Structure 1
Amino acid sequence: MKDNELIGGVENSVPESKTKAVKDENIKDEQRAKILSIAVLVVVVLTIWYMMDIVFITFILVYLFYNLLSGVQKKLFSKLPFNVPNGLVLALLYIVFIGILVILGSEVVPKAAVWVTAFTEQIINFDIEAFKSALSPRLAEAINNFDLDSGFNYLVTLLITKLGEFSARIGSLTFSLIVSMLLSFVIVVEKDDIVEFGKRVEDSKISFIYNYFMIFGGNFCKTFGKVMKVQLIIALVNSALSMIGLKFIGFEAIVPFGVMIFVLGLIPVAGVIISLFPLCIMAFNIGGIIKIVEVCIMVCVLHAIEAYILNPKLMSAKTRLPVCFVFIILLVGEHYMGVWGLIMGVPIFIFIMSMFDVDYAIVREKKQKLRVDNWRKKFSGK
């Protein structure tokens, strides 16, 4: 009897050991698949790193126009007795978008060119001796102790160099925008074909890479949407506060500057700094150095409000990350990726956390739900 029980126990223990071995092997296979997926992603990123402007702008345009197309089709054309092709609707949306860019460019670029030319000429033709003679004797004597001429010449050379770099950067971004618009249009138009191709990849031998990228990419897109909504709120606040400040400073046409600040405000933190250049040129034409100082003070205050209050706080509320984490992510992202790091930093961080199965949002949601339940119990008890 005992021998039979012993034999039965051995027979029962064999399947359990085999099951455990199979589970361990599956875990190892899953880990290998994840490591291989991460390696493929790193190789792809390193390959396209030099054209990151085009990649980021294309991603933003695809996200924007895909949602616009879905919204227009559902709210406007869904009630029609016939179907409107997606390609036609998308073409109309792109025509409107290009028209807005052309109108803004035709209004802003010529005026900006005139302001920049006038500002540069005034700086180059600045008479240092006349400036010294207008000062009090004591202040003029103190200034004479410094090599003001060489310092001023250095500033003029630096200004011309920076203007050249800025012009080259604008040209590069314009080219990237044109290429990105073409790519995004093709991607959104052929979205059904892309989905069909993805299904074929899902049935192939590299399906594990596709599945990982679909999961992580979905989290990335959701987070990016939240980030853009936050940035839209911040841009509206910046535009309104800037228009009020410019009115107090003495600017007359504040609406064009408000639109410019709103558009640039969609670039987190850096948008405020970029808008400083045309504002300073206009301020110099209005009231000289004093007005430039007033504009700089206003921009510094707005930059501080955005960088240290609005951006981390709103981003934390939308992404459910701690405020200090968001602040550090923005700093690190700007350091390594420039302006794009401010836009993509938080989604990339969420993407990386998803790859390592960090369910931070679930923990915070449970805590928040627990606090709400406790509050309801106290309220019902009263």
Structure 2
Amino acid sequence: MIHLVQIIQRFVRIPTGILAIMIYTLIVYLIYLAFTKYIPMLIHQTFDMIQSVIDFYEHQPKDADPVLQYIHNYIERNDFFEQLQNGASIALGYLQDIGKMAVAFAMSFILSFFFMIEKQKTILFSRLFLKSEFSWFFQDLYYFADKFVNTFGLVLEAQFIIALLNTLLTTIALAAFGFHQLLSLAIMIFILSLIPVAGVIISCIPLSFIAYSQGGIRDVVYILMTILVVHLIESYVLNPKLMSSKTDLPIFYTFVVLLVSERFFGVWGLIVGIPIFTFFLDVLKVKKIPNHSPREIDIL
């Protein structure tokens, strides 16, 4: 939010407090719009998408090709619908975690609003800790906080922007191919895009399954080619521009970090694992991250 305010103030000279109120009011309105209009649409499209896939395999045509026949027989042998119900139960468990994250997001949103309203006052007050009797302790605390913001925050921000651009490009391609339930697919692609490297591979599975149910092998080839092109754009354009040297990790280390972070933090570890690992690399001086912290919040 601080970066957004700084960008706007480069073009329009508006006091920080007034600009913060305007931005947060707009965000609250967009959240209200999402809950009242787009989330019901998302739920409806998701159920329609699942139902269309189920109907497709329940009413298999007699002249189905061998690939479809093999998939149908495999589903019958492995009791696909029972597994789908078990998967739905797991999904409900994840929804509870999402509820906790929503509460944390709401609290963070409120705290960031009050910080932006009284930014200068908060900064001046924070400087008093660095001049107190226990200044040595607060200076160490500030050092790690600065490292955390400079690595975890910026890497997560770049990861979010890359996921957003990946979602936009892939959704445009899906619309061109005539896919339905684009809102549900876009949400799924965005969530998977937040997982570095592995998210691209994981997204191939449900997208290929849906593509085959709608248009056969031809649509599957189109989808795989689209994902390949988007991944190339991410690897050779977005990552060098946005990530720079922040997360230039070997693929082996990336997958190891994802596996370990998922073990300790659950599904959210797939998203925050790489930023946390980058933070420790910087703190331990294994791989130094250039300082890009905003000057206005530098309390030293």
Q: What is the TM-score of this pair, normalised by structure 2? A: 0.65
Q: Does 1:68 align with 2:30?
A: no
Question: What is the rounded CA distance, in whole Å, between the counterparts of 1:252 and 1:357 in structure 2?
Answer: 49
Higher Rg: 1
How far off is 1:332 after superposition?
0.7
Contact 1:333 1:345 in 2 (8 A): yes
Within 5 Å, give how 1:87-236 maps onto structure 2: 87-122=17-52, 128=58, 131=60, 148=76, 151-224=79-152, 226-227=154-155, 230-231=158-159, 234-235=162-163
1:218 is paired with a residue whose SS is: helix
1:77 is paired with a residue whose SS is: coil
Question: What is the rounded CA distance, in whole Å, between the counterparts of 1:148 and 1:173 in structure 2?
Answer: 37
In structure 2, the residue matched to 1:367 is none
Contact 1:239 1:258 in 2 (8 A): no
Deviations 1:327-356 (A, max 9, x none): 625741563146655665555445434544
How far off is 1:91 after superposition?
1.6
Contact 1:330 1:341 in 2 (8 A): no
| Structure 1 unaligned blocks of 5 or more | 1-64, 79-83, 363-382
CA gap 1:94/1:264 in 2 versus in 1, 3 angstroms: farther
Question: What is the rounded CA distance, in whole Å, between the counterparts of 1:71 and 1:161 in structure 2?
Answer: 44
Contact 1:202 1:211 in 2 (8 A): yes
Higher RCO (C-alpha under 8 Å, 6+ residues apart): 2
CA gap 1:150/1:122 in 2 versus in 1, 3 angstroms: same
Q: Which amino acid aligns with 2:60?
A: F
For the aligned residue pairs, the C-alpha RMSD in angstroms reads 4.9
How far off is 1:298 after superposition?
5.5
1:210 is paired with a residue whose SS is: helix
CA gap 1:271/1:87 in 2 versus in 1, 3 angstroms: farther
Question: What is the rounded CA distance, in whole Å, between the counterparts of 1:296 and 1:247 in structure 2?
Answer: 11
Contact 2:257 2:277 in 1 (8 A): no
Question: What is the rounded CA distance, in whole Å, between the counterparts of 2:70 and 2:207 in structure 1?
Answer: 33
In structure 1, the residue matched to 2:228 is 301
Q: Which amino acid aligns with 1:66?
A: I
After TM superposition, the structure 1 stretch with the greater mean CA deviation from structure 2, 272-281 or 93-102, is 272-281
| Structure 2 unaligned blocks of 5 or more | 291-300
Would you say how many aligned residue pairs link Structure 1 and Structure 2?
285
Question: What is the rounded CA distance, in whole Å, between the counterparts of 1:209 and 1:300 in structure 2?
Answer: 49
Match of 1:287 among 205, 214, 237: 214
Q: Which amino acid aligns with 2:260?
A: H
Question: What is the rounded CA distance, in whole Å, between the counterparts of 2:255 and 2:75 in structure 1?
Answer: 40
Within 5 Å, give how 1:244-259 maps onto structure 2: 244-251=172-179
Report the structure, 1 or 2, having the larger helix content: 1
After TM superposition, the structure 1 stretch with the greater mean CA deviation from structure 2, 257-266 or 101-110, is 257-266
Deviations 1:58-106 (A, max 9, x none): xxxxxxx22223343454226xxxxx4x433212111112223333444
Contact 1:234 1:311 in 2 (8 A): yes
Q: What is the TM-score of this pair, normalised by structure 1? A: 0.54
How far off is 1:299 after superposition?
7.1
How far off is 1:228 after superposition?
5.2
In structure 2, the residue matched to 1:60 is none
